[in-house]
Structure 1
Amino acid sequence: MTPKVNKQAVANAFGRAAQSYQQHAELQRRCGEQLMTLADVTRYRSVLDAGCGTGWFSQRWQQQGLQVTALDLSAAMLAEAESRHSADRYLQGDIDALPLPDGAVDLCWSNLAVHWCDDLSHALNQLCRVTRRGGTVLFSTLAADSLSEVRDAWRQIDDAGHVNRFLSMEQITAACAHHHVQLSEQHLTLAFPDVLAAMHSLKGIGATHLHEGRRHGLMTRQRLQQLESAWRRDERGCLLSYHLVFGVISL
């Protein structure tokens, strides 16, 4: 359903952002807080944070009294999470091939990570595999119209791909077809004072890897001015819009 992902390149991109991630991760925090409202915490004793980043939500689950296993593709992100004492256990690994036995945890949690996987259906199968019967998988991802401002602005400058393609809501629904799942959606728009700030926010959370590779040159002053003219904005500033999809799988 998605192109083959260069996992090492993704890990490298997020690794470069490990030190700056916390200060730029407003989207991840807002999305994750919404996802947490979908869980009955009293039902669980253990949780896998699959794609933990710097461990923000690993810490949130610890505060709820759960035993937390933090997993990330990036060794640098995982080291940052460990430096914050975010979890009880740390694993470097890939959601597409989780290094855990079947039924290892009560709850699998993955906040804005599965769109970096090769295939959403396979990723969800992996999350379900390591979750015990009677447990829950909670995940969030981005749908196809996310970051339309970036795509639309760059189209006025060149024909290169500057934004990864995300699955449509129909494709996400199809990927969940074999599971007992509840899906919900939310549209969220963040505003920034200028284009540079908007682009720094993407770089600051590591979301700069392009699956199809970079075919464009360096950012020049002229290109930046063109982007400033083309970028969608309102009275708050330059916009970045996200179509969030939340999934709750009951096992």
Structure 2
Amino acid sequence: MPLSSVDSSRPAVDIRRLQRIFDRRAQTFDAVSFLPREVAQRMRERLECVNLTPTRILDAGCGLGDDLLALQAYFDSAHIYGLDVSHQMLARALAATGAPRLGWRGRLADTLSRKIQFKSPWVRKLAQIFQPRPRQTVQADFAMLPFAASTFDLCWSNLALHWHPRPEHVLLEWQRVLKTGGLLMFSLLGPDSLCELRAAGQRAGAQMPSSQVLDFTDMHDLGDMLVASGFEIPVMEMEKLTITYSSPAALLSDVRRWGAYPFNLAQRPVGLTGRGWHEALMTALEAQRRADGMLSLTFEIIYGHAWKAAARTTAEGYVIVRLDEITKATKQKS
């Protein structure tokens, strides 16, 4: 399937604007980090079903660094790299995870290091082997990764891909930096996310769905993008999580902390602006109260994982045909 057939139709984005948005959100993101933490836990439960021992892991969109620590605890001998577009997010991630945690490997390395005075070569070697693996952070665009091809065994991304205007380009880049047979595991928001906010925006008299809320990519389109990008055996799942609020102000406050609309708009929102728009939106949200008096905000969570397929062509353009495929074709003809 050609990649052009599954291209995203999102408008252009200024990556620097996206960076500024999350630089501003970095200091208050703890207040809403419960959602990515919950989704990360559900991703790790899926990871437990996979037989994988990675030596290098990329966390694309590492944010505050919570998943860096969790991945290091799960794969204690792996080198973990955290990548994010936001400098301020990375600064907080580095502050939270900069000092390696001393698990059993670290305690053993520390004990062996104190025995270096005995000058034993095998003690030195063991200390090096069991030294806690470093975690490094890198600031970059998802679609322009500063890594060589076939660098990682696992690419992990939690609730980050939906922010990029061209997810199909990001998947191609993730495929490039993965080793053949490497695993991509990711989550992102689906089209039904924030449906209550969209509905309130429409009632408030503005074209909110097309101008103020992200147009999240459909799960089936993502599956097609994975195959077109060179992944195989894609598995896509979806579930909906609902968060409740006591007031419209609290709901909107969390939405602002999660981010903002990052894309360049060809046209400005139609309808109310300023105080009038805000008051109309608050009134529309108030009208959505449930029987128990609470307000709901829905998040459609899409989970996906796939493996990097073996190359079908060489760097020179020659087609690779496996011997078992030739044998199978010959038997079918006979």
Q: TM-score, normalised by structure 1?
A: 0.91
Q: Is the 8 A contact 2:289 2:295 kept in 1?
A: yes
Q: Is the 8 A contact 2:239 2:301 kept in 1?
A: yes
Q: Aligned residue for 2:315? A: none
Moved more, 96-105 or 80-89: 80-89
Q: Aligned residue for 2:138? A: 91
Aligned ranges 1:94-113 → 2 under 5 Å:
94-113=141-160
Question: Is 1:245 matched up with 2:302?
Answer: yes
Of 9, 16, 26, the residue aligned with 1:18 is: 26
Structure with the higher helix share, 1 or 2: 2
Structure with the higher strand share, 1 or 2: 1
Q: Aligned residue for 1:167? A: 217
AA aligned to 1:218 is G
| Larger-Rg structure | 2
AA aligned to 1:204 is R
Task: Name structure 1 gaps, 5 residues minimum.
Answer: none
Aligned ranges 1:29-108 → 2 under 5 Å:
29-39=37-47, 40=50, 42-64=52-74, 65=76, 66-85=78-97, 88-108=135-155
Q: CA deviation at 1:140?
A: 0.8
With over 3 angstroms needed to count, the CA separation of the structure-2 counterparts of 1:188 and 1:224, relative to structure 1, is: same
Q: CA deviation at 1:134?
A: 2.2
Q: CA deviation at 1:42?
A: 5.0
Q: CA deviation at 1:177?
A: 2.7
Counterpart-to-counterpart distance in 2, 1:143 and 1:219: 30
Counterpart-to-counterpart distance in 2, 1:210 and 1:128: 25
Q: CA deviation at 1:225?
A: 4.0
* Paired residue secondary structure (1:204): helix
* Paired residue secondary structure (1:146): coil
Moved more, 233-242 or 127-136: 233-242
Of 157, 182, 185, the residue aligned with 2:235 is: 182
* Paired residue secondary structure (2:17): helix
Of 238, 241, 244, the residue aligned with 1:191 is: 244
Counterpart-to-counterpart distance in 2, 1:226 and 1:103: 52
Q: Is the 8 A contact 2:200 2:281 kept in 1?
A: no
Q: Is the 8 A contact 2:12 2:264 kept in 1?
A: no
Give me the CA root mean square deviation: 2.1
Q: TM-score, normalised by structure 2?
A: 0.70
Q: CA deviation at 1:34?
A: 1.1
* Paired residue secondary structure (1:158): coil
AA aligned to 2:72 is Q
Q: Aligned residue for 1:218? A: 274
* Bigger relative CO (Cα 8 Å, ≥ 6 apart): 1
Report the number of matched residues.
250
AA aligned to 1:217 is T
With over 3 angstroms needed to count, the CA separation of the structure-2 counterparts of 1:189 and 1:43, relative to structure 1, is: same
Task: Name structure 2 gaps, 5 residues minimum.
Answer: 1-7, 99-133, 309-334
Q: Is the 8 A contact 1:110 1:140 kept in 2?
A: yes
Percentage identity across paired residues of the two chains = 26
AA aligned to 2:260 is T
* Paired residue secondary structure (1:47): strand
Aligned ranges 1:199-218 → 2 under 5 Å:
199-205=252-258, 207-213=259-265, 215=269, 217-218=273-274
Counterpart-to-counterpart distance in 2, 1:189 and 1:219: 28
Q: Is the 8 A contact 1:182 1:248 kept in 2?
A: yes
Moved more, 163-172 or 36-45: 36-45
